[in-house]
Amino acid sequence: MKNRSVQGSLLLLLGAVVWGAAFVAQRAGMDHMPPFAFSGIRMLLGFAVLYPFSRITRRKTMTVGNPAAVRALQWKSGLLCGFFLFLATSLQQVGLVSTGAGKAGFITALYVVLVPVAGLLLFRANPGRLVWIGVVLAVAALWLLCVPPEGFVVETGDLLLVGCAVCFTAQILCVDRFAPRVDGVTLARDEFLVTGILSMIVSLCTETITLEGITEALIPILYTGIFSCGVGYTLQVLGQQRVNPTVASLIMCMEAVFAVLTGALILGEVMTGRELAGCALMFTAVILAQLSPFLSRIRKAG
């Protein structure tokens, strides 16, 4: 069990690295394409990338239990998780129209608080004192990383981003419910299919898509589709098969740290003392979350 938890944490950490680096690509892609079209195309690309792998991994799952029941649960998980992922990404994209990236990142990442609160209220799952301390430290770290020193004024558009955080919370808890019982790669694949189709429907009804725009945004599309979607979200699903959802949300918040580090390494951005302090706090929060189950075993043994 301990090895499974460590493996899951490493998968989630790698996913956070991929997502953090994707901020650069997403920023570039938005210069050439409208948001729903960009999101829809990259999600469908993620589906295409995972499809052949899911055919292999799903065969192993179908050999256990009733194939019809397994298939029904697989589709149910993909539809529900994909629906919440679509709502979350859509609210985030629309919210970004009137909200700065730093503020949007902070509000979106508040799922780190909402996940344990929702888990406690809905499932009576208390992650433990150290994890709660880690959650508080993570919120402080996100403030330092995402919000400028002068702070921000809450505006009407920010409510969309609060809704985004709520929907990401629902997606994380939904993955937590289904991931241990279905094939993880297929679940990630179906999430992308649902999100991609819904995003393209909205795009075709409200946006103008041009071949020139797609061509100019091709590299960002390829990176976010193959790595951010195909790799990142698959690592989330596989990692959550082994890790408590609150701890998973803490580790996934490390994407803010890796976004800052990527900006420094690739774009030559200089990290401020405030950002360095935020990185240190976030690392501390994740370490506390990892120590929690270890200390709990010591207390029980004593």
Reading the chain (302 residues) residue by residue, the pLDDT tens digits are 557 788 999 999 999 888 877 766 776 777 888 889 999 999 999 999 999 988 887 766 555 567 788 888 999 999 999 999 999 988 887 787 676 666 777 788 888 889 998 988 888 888 888 889 989 999 999 898 888 888 777 777 788 888 999 999 999 999 999 988 888 899 999 999 999 999 999 999 999 999 999 999 999 999 989 998 889 988 999 999 888 888 898 899 888 788 778 777 776 777 788 888 988 998 888 888 877 766 666 666 55
Look up residue 178 and give its two tokens.
């289904």
**In 3D, which of 212, 202, 254 has the Cα closest to residue 19?**
254
Q: What angle do CA 253, 256, 258 make, to 5 degrees?
A: 110
The H or E element spanning position 54 is helix 35-62
CA 75 to each of CA 81, 182, 191: distance values in angstroms, whole numbers, following the listed order: 10, 10, 10
- Please count the other Cβ atoms lying within 10 Å of the Cβ belonging to residue 40: 26
Predicted local distance difference test score (pLDDT) of residue 100: 63
Predicted local distance difference test score (pLDDT) of residue 60: 61
CA 199 to chain centre: 17
Cα 298 from Cα 68, distance rounded (Å): 43
Look up residue 208 and give its two tokens.
């103008």
**In 3D, which of 97, 89, 91 has the Cα closest to residue 196?**
89
CA 20 to each of CA 224, 242, 254: distance values in angstroms, whole numbers, following the listed order: 11, 22, 8
CA 86 to chain centre: 12
The H or E element spanning position 25 is helix 2-29
**SS (HEC) of 27-38:** HHHCCCCCHHHH
Based on the structure, what is the number of domains in the chain?
1
97: Cβ contacts below 8 Å, ≥ 6 apart: 157
**In 3D, which of 43, 299, 69 has the Cα closest to residue 194?**
43
Which amino acid is present at 150? E
**In 3D, which of 3, 50, 5, 46 has the Cα closest to residue 199?**
46
CB contact at 8 A, 225 and 43: yes
CB contact at 8 A, 191 and 84: no
CA 270 to each of CA 237, 263, 274: distance values in angstroms, whole numbers, following the listed order: 33, 8, 11
CA 221 to each of CA 29, 42, 93: distance values in angstroms, whole numbers, following the listed order: 7, 6, 16
- Please count the other Cβ atoms lying within 10 Å of the Cβ belonging to residue 103: 22
Residue with tokens 């996934």: 252
Range of the domain at 87: 2-301
Instruction: Note if the pTM is more than 0.75.
Output: yes
